[in-house]
Chains A and B, each alone.
Chain A
Amino acid sequence: MQDILDILRDYGLLLAVGQFPDGPIGGLALTLILAVTGLTVSFPLSVLIGVGRTSHHPAIAWTCTAFVTLVRALPLLMLIFWAYFVVPLIIGRTVSALTTVICALVVYETAYLAEVVRAAILALPKGQTEASRSLGLSASQTLRDVILPQALFNAIPSILNQFISLVKNTSVAYIISVSELTYSAYQINAQLMTKPLQVYLILAAIYFIICFSLSRLVRLVEKRIDASRKAPVAAGSAA
């Protein structure tokens, strides 16, 4: 126990923010930056692909389905290695390990989030589309103003769950030496040599606290959403 406190005192700052402000940001801060960036970039893409999967044009539906199926069949690690190879080919210059990881995480998350979006769209009663079309709205207006607002609202808990899994997935960045939380702990362990148990318990505890509190938050949000869906719609409010 004393060991754990000593490690936290000596290396707590390194675990929290890496070398910042004297060097690049790292540790837990970088883990959270990776996860937030990953979600922010993959969300709009996943809406496009999720909608594409429900499209009536066979070419669009097939392409989106193929993308999702292929990405789901590959380990994240494989995508990271591919990103290392493919991203420089596309943009014509070498990129940092950090950029590589963000690209791989975005592709991976987009596939899983697209499934969430698709499931939320399919879960809406068909009458919503029919009613909207019979009121004279076009197909794209129906999607934008009727279907997506409801589907994405209902999907908030699943999107947050996806964010939790993204936080955990950022740890794979360790493999290509991006100095996020797991890599920082690995470095500390390499410096101390004799305290792997203590170092990795601290690491596990940090992830546990973050992911466990996030999952509690998701449950709370889920209850609020369920309640708001059951409540009678007040006059004049948007459905």
Chain B
Amino acid sequence: MHLDFGAVLTPQYAHWILWGAATSAALFLSSWVLAFASAAVLVAIGSAPFRGARWAVAGFVAYHRNIPMLVQIFVWYFAVPQLLPEPLTRWVNSHNSEFIFAMIALFLNAAAYMSEDMRSGLRALPPAQMEAGRALGLSYLQTMRDVLLPQAVRAALPALVNQSLSLFKATSLAMAVGVAEMTYTSRQVENETYRTFETFAIASLFYVTLSFAIMALGAWADRRNLRAAGH
């Protein structure tokens, strides 16, 4: 097999690949931030002493855990616009609707999984912490935000890193609705150049490098955590 990376890295194709890389990164970072924040909100709601709130969160989590990510993207991209008011649909369509809907589907799914991880982190804490916070005059939300959640996140860190890795890999599914992220653009380059090995090698290198970076970040945070805990 004769390899020729030059045929794939001409200025035009290199530009496509870089564009794909940037889109993948943007999709991952924006959905990660939204997912993390929503997961914290979901945990706070789900731990509130109201049965209705708990059930709503449990239903949200069950929906996102039992349906394939790809189908969730389709639901947002194909089905939900039918329910949205006309002006909103028009606005989304003129602002890269593929990216927006894929991002919403990705972040909601990751939020469901992350909230489960944070919840088990929360369960590992002694219940007296909530009582102590309340006794000191903090409200339920303040105790949650300033006392319990930071500890729960720290306890759930390894699981949250795994979730982040899944989220990063799931961004590749956005190609199914035409988001020009890495998988999509590399397939385009492959279609034009017929250089299958070279193109997929570059795309795979991108995914492996960033995945390893996420894993390494997780390992580093874990070590720091253990040191902080005095082990």
Contacts and interface: CB of A to CB of B under 8 A. Distances in A.
A200 interface: yes
Contacts of B71: 171, 182, 200, 203-204, 207
B196 to A, nearest CB: 5
A85 B211 contact: no
Interface string A63-90: 0000001101111111001100100000
Interface string B53-83: 0000000001101111111101100111011
Interface of A is mostly: helix
Nearest to B168: A75
B78 A77 contact: no
B200 A82 contact: yes
B173 A77 contact: yes
A72 B211 contact: yes
B20 to A, nearest CB: 12
Contacts of A199: 79
B203 A169 contact: no
A204 B67 contact: yes
A168 B170 contact: no
Contact of A75 (B65, B82, B183): B183
Contact of B207 (A73, A168, A196, A200): A73
Given A75-B172, A78-B183, A168-B69, A200 B197 contact: no
Interface in B197-231: 197, 200, 203-204, 207-208, 211-212, 215
B75 A77 contact: no
B63 A208 contact: yes
B173 A74 contact: no
A69 to B, nearest CB: 8
A175 B183 CA distance: 11
Interface string B163-180: 001000111110110000
Given A81-B200, A200-B74, A75 B207 contact: yes
Nearest to A171: B68
B187 interface: yes
B86 to A, nearest CB: 15
A73 B68 contact: no
A238 interface: no
Contacts of B204: 74, 78, 82
A207 B67 contact: yes
Given A74-B169, A182-B70, A197 B79 contact: yes
A70 B208 contact: yes
A76 B78 CA distance: 23
B199 to A, nearest CB: 9
A62 interface: no
Contacts of B176: 174-175
A215 interface: yes
A211 B66 contact: yes
Contacts of B65: 211, 215
Nearest to A169: B68
The CB with the most chain B CB atoms within 10 A, among A171, A172, A186, A212, is that of A171
24 contacts: A72-B211, A73-B211, A73-B212, A74-B169, A76-B169, A77-B175, A78-B207, A81-B183, A85-B197, A168-B69, A170-B68, A171-B71, A172-B68, A172-B173, A186-B74, A196-B78, A200-B71, A200-B78, A201-B79, A204-B67, A204-B72, A207-B66, A207-B68, A208-B63
Given A73-B212, A170-B68, 13 more contacts: A72-B165, A72-B211, A73-B208, A73-B215, A77-B175, A78-B203, A182-B74, A186-B74, A200-B74, A201-B75, A204-B63, A208-B63, A215-B65
Q: Which 9 residue pairs across A and B have the least CB separation, nearest first?
A: A73-B211, A211-B66, A75-B172, A171-B68, A168-B68, A196-B78, A75-B169, A200-B79, A197-B79
